[in-house]
Chains A and B, each alone.
Chain A
Amino acid sequence: MLKIGSYEFSSRLLLGTGKYPNFDVQKQSVEVSETEILTFAVRRMNIFEATQPNFLEKLDLKKYTLLPNTAGAKTAKEAVRIAQLAKASGLCDMIKVEVIGCQKTLLPDPIETLKAAEELVKLGFIVLPYTSDDVLLAKRLEEVGCHAIMPGASPIGSGQGIINPLNLRFIMEQSDVPVIVDAGIGTPSDAAIAMELGADGVLLNTAVSGAKDPIKMAKAMKLAIEAGRLGYEAGRIEKNEYAIASSPVEGMSIG
Chain B
Amino acid sequence: MELIINGEKIRIPEDESTVAELLQHFNLHHKVVIVELNDEILAKENQSETRLSNGDKVEIVHFVGGG
Complex contact A18–B31 (CB within 8 A): no
Note all chain A residues with C-beta closer than 8 A to B13.
none
Note all chain A residues with C-beta closer than 8 A to B61.
42-45, 85
Give the residues from 125 to 140 in chain A that come closer than 8 angstroms, CB to CB, to chain B: none
Note all chain B residues with C-beta closer than 8 A to A121.
none
Note all chain B residues with C-beta closer than 8 A to A245.
none
Note all chain A residues with C-beta closer than 8 A to B6.
44-45, 47
Note all chain B residues with C-beta closer than 8 A to A86.
34, 63
CA of A69 to CA of B33, assembled, Å: 16
Q: Report B1-45 CB contacts with A as 1/0, cut-off 8 Å.
A: 000011100100000000000000011100111101000011110
Residue of B nearest to A206 (CB): B67
CA of A66 to CA of B66, assembled, Å: 11
Complex contact A54–B27 (CB within 8 A): no
For B, the interface residue count at a CB cutoff of 8 angstroms equals 25
Note all chain B residues with C-beta closer than 8 A to A48.
26
Q: Identify the stretch in A87-95, A173-181, A189-197 within 8 Å (CB) of chain B at 4 or more residues.
A: A87-95
Q: Report A16-55 CB contacts with B as 1/0, cut-off 8 Å.
A: 1111100000100000000000011111110110110011
CA of A156 to CA of B8, assembled, Å: 32
- A223 contacts the other chain (Cβ, under 8 Å)? no
Complex contact B43–A88 (CB within 8 A): yes
- B59 contacts the other chain (Cβ, under 8 Å)? yes
- A110 contacts the other chain (Cβ, under 8 Å)? no
Given A54-B63, A71-B66, A88 contacting B32 (CB threshold 8 A): no
Note all chain A residues with C-beta closer than 8 A to B65.
16-20, 26, 40-41, 55
Taking the nearest CB of chain B, how far is it from the CB of A181, in angstroms?
Answer: 13
Residue of A nearest to B60 (CB): A45
Residue of A nearest to B36 (CB): A85
Given A20-B65, A69-B66, A45 contacting B33 (CB threshold 8 A): yes
CA of A206 to CA of B67, assembled, Å: 8
Note all chain A residues with C-beta closer than 8 A to B27.
50-51
CA of A193 to CA of B18, assembled, Å: 54
CA of A40 to CA of B60, assembled, Å: 16
Given A47-B28, A50-B26, A50-B27, A39 contacting B66 (CB threshold 8 A): yes
Taking the nearest CB of chain B, how far is it from the CB of A20, in angstroms?
Answer: 7
Residues of B within 8 A of A (CB): 5-7, 10, 26-28, 31-34, 36, 41-44, 59-67
Q: Could you name 19 residue pairs across A and B whose Cβ atoms are closer than 8 Å?
A: A16-B65, A16-B66, A17-B67, A40-B64, A40-B65, A41-B64, A41-B67, A45-B31, A45-B62, A47-B5, A47-B6, A50-B27, A54-B63, A56-B32, A57-B32, A68-B63, A69-B66, A89-B34, A205-B66
